[in-house]
Structure 1
Amino acid sequence: MNIFLCDDDCLVTKQLSEYLNEYFSDRKMDTIKIFTFNTAFSLLSSSVIPDIVFLDIEMPEINGIEIAKKLCSLYPDCIIMIVTSYSEYLDAAMDIHVFRYLDKPINKKRLYSGLDYAIKRLTDISGKITFEIHSKFITLSKKDIICAEAQLRNVNIYTPTEMYTSKKNMIFWKEQLKNPCFFQPHRSYIVNMNHIISFDKTTLYTDNTALAIPISRNTYQSFKTTYLLFMENTR
């Protein structure tokens, strides 16, 4: 995840950077890169694609609202948070659907709340899911999930390279894997149809040869229809 900080006041970017490092460190999210800019030109000239941008409004060359408009045009999925001492720009910020409008000095609690929602939104947009295992956060692309398997109170998540045991129950995973490529052939399984290579009336076989997924008698016809239609639409 790439995070941009743009403010001509180095004390503001220093404090914001410290807050961000603390936030992501506490959540054991270590794939974060923070980039600091003190001019609009340097930000807009960057070759890095931002995921979240924190913008000051009163900048020497161009104000933050204009920068935000350019960023929205270049990166439609980018999340923009305005950081300013000036409340009169609030309406203009709302017109371009700025994600948060944060007052200076920065309130850490409000910043962290905004980040919680921002990460959830990025997860939804990117087709990725973040979940916790033993106090560590794991992020997976949904396309890499072969299946979810309920085991007592836990759910095992299988990918081509790993198996993760989540404390979240099957209700949570059904909600997270609401996607046309996922199907629940059995009450204990949710499968990604992209990973199915063959099936019969009792079993789905995946590209992980160690994974054979049962299919209940009551769902076979529904699965067959859904799978064939899915494959037709993805050709």
Structure 2
Amino acid sequence: MRILICDDDPLIIEQLQKFIESFFKSNHIKCPELVSFTSGESLLADSEEKDLVFLDIEMPGMNGIYIGNELKKANKNVIIFVVTSYSEYLDDAMRFHVFRYLSKPLDRSRFLRNMKDALTYYNSITVKIPVETRQGLYSFPASQIIAIEAQSRKVIVHTVQQDFDSIYTMDYWLNLLPKNSFFQTHRSFIINLDHVVDFDHFTIHLSNPQLTAYLTRRKYSSFKNAYLLYLESMR
């Protein structure tokens, strides 16, 4: 993982560095590579991976809105935190799917909460999940799993590429998949909240239009709350 800070204020850069280092230290995780820039031009000139970026909006030269759009064009999965005193830029920032909006002066507690969400999301799109079948072993990020379905004696892993017949049980998958983004809606279905299109009291429509998951009546409220919480964490 590589974390970048882009701000023309050296005091903000220093504060963000301290917050980031404190977050990883308190969670007993080695701090990733941390690189700072004082202009959007120097950030875009950097040719290495950009996994998580703290981006100021008001900077001389290229502003943060332009930089954010360019970063998303290069890597749609880059996690961007907008850091600014100017809330009027929020609508423009949301258009390139900013992960979070942090206002100056920075609040440490809020920063740490949001950093935890960012790391969880980063792991969901990068850490690979093994899928073992009778034909072989496959692996891909959890974000590519749409749903796990129990069909008679089979357990099917539906992914954005294809379906796999897993050799493991639903309980195995329930324990393996990230709790913040997967939910068991029925004894026959575990679904990825990121792939939900819409739902009613009985069914859930997913990003694959040919796949519909069942929703148990008694789980409707807890599922709705989990889904709304998930959407809130993605803002």
Normalised-by-shorter TM-score class: 0.5 to 0.7
CA distance in 2, matches of 1:113, 1:19: 11
User: How does 1:14-29 map onto structure 2 within 5 Å?
Assistant: 14-29=14-29
Give the match for residue 142 of structure 1. 129
Note if contact 2:25-2:31 (Cα within 8 Å) is conserved in structure 1: no
User: How does 1:41-56 map onto structure 2 within 5 Å?
Assistant: 41-56=41-56
- Structure 2, unaligned runs of 5 or more: 134-156, 174-235
User: How does 1:75-86 map onto structure 2 within 5 Å?
Assistant: 75-86=75-86
- 1:96 and 1:184, CA in 2 relative to 1: closer, same or farther beyond 3 A? same
The alignment partner of 1:142 has SS state of strand
1:183 Cα deviation from its structure 2 partner: 2.5
Instruction: Give the RMSD, CA atoms, in angstroms.
Output: 2.5
The alignment partner of 1:81 has SS state of strand
- 1:182 and 1:107, CA in 2 relative to 1: closer, same or farther beyond 3 A? farther
The alignment partner of 1:4 has SS state of strand
Count of aligned pairs between the two proteins: 148
User: How does 1:23-172 map onto structure 2 within 5 Å?
Assistant: 23-30=23-30, 32-126=32-126, 128=127, 141-143=128-130
1:31 Cα deviation from its structure 2 partner: 5.2
1:185 Cα deviation from its structure 2 partner: 3.8
Give the match for residue 183 of structure 1. 166
CA distance in 1, matches of 2:36, 2:25: 18
CA distance in 1, matches of 2:166, 2:24: 33
1:182 Cα deviation from its structure 2 partner: 7.4
The alignment partner of 1:58 has SS state of coil
- Structure 1, unaligned runs of 5 or more: 129-140, 148-176, 191-235
AA in 1 matched with 2:129: K
1:142 Cα deviation from its structure 2 partner: 2.5
CA distance in 1, matches of 2:19, 2:158: 33
Give the match for residue 167 of structure 1. none
- 1:186 and 1:12, CA in 2 relative to 1: closer, same or farther beyond 3 A? closer
TM value normalised by structure 1? 0.57
AA in 2 matched with 1:108: R
CA distance in 2, matches of 1:36, 1:4: 6
- 1:120 and 1:178, CA in 2 relative to 1: closer, same or farther beyond 3 A? farther
AA in 2 matched with 1:142: I
- 1:188 and 1:107, CA in 2 relative to 1: closer, same or farther beyond 3 A? closer
AA in 2 matched with 1:104: K
Give the match for residue 209 of structure 1. none
- 1:31 and 1:112, CA in 2 relative to 1: closer, same or farther beyond 3 A? closer
1:96 Cα deviation from its structure 2 partner: 1.7
Percent sequence identity over aligned pairs:
37
CA distance in 2, matches of 1:189, 1:90: 41
- 1:2 and 1:187, CA in 2 relative to 1: closer, same or farther beyond 3 A? closer
Note if contact 2:83-2:101 (Cα within 8 Å) is conserved in structure 1: yes
TM value normalised by structure 2? 0.57
CA distance in 2, matches of 1:189, 1:118: 26
- 1:178 and 1:118, CA in 2 relative to 1: closer, same or farther beyond 3 A? farther
CA distance in 2, matches of 1:86, 1:182: 51
- Higher Cα Rg: structure 1 or 2? 1
CA distance in 2, matches of 1:17, 1:182: 45
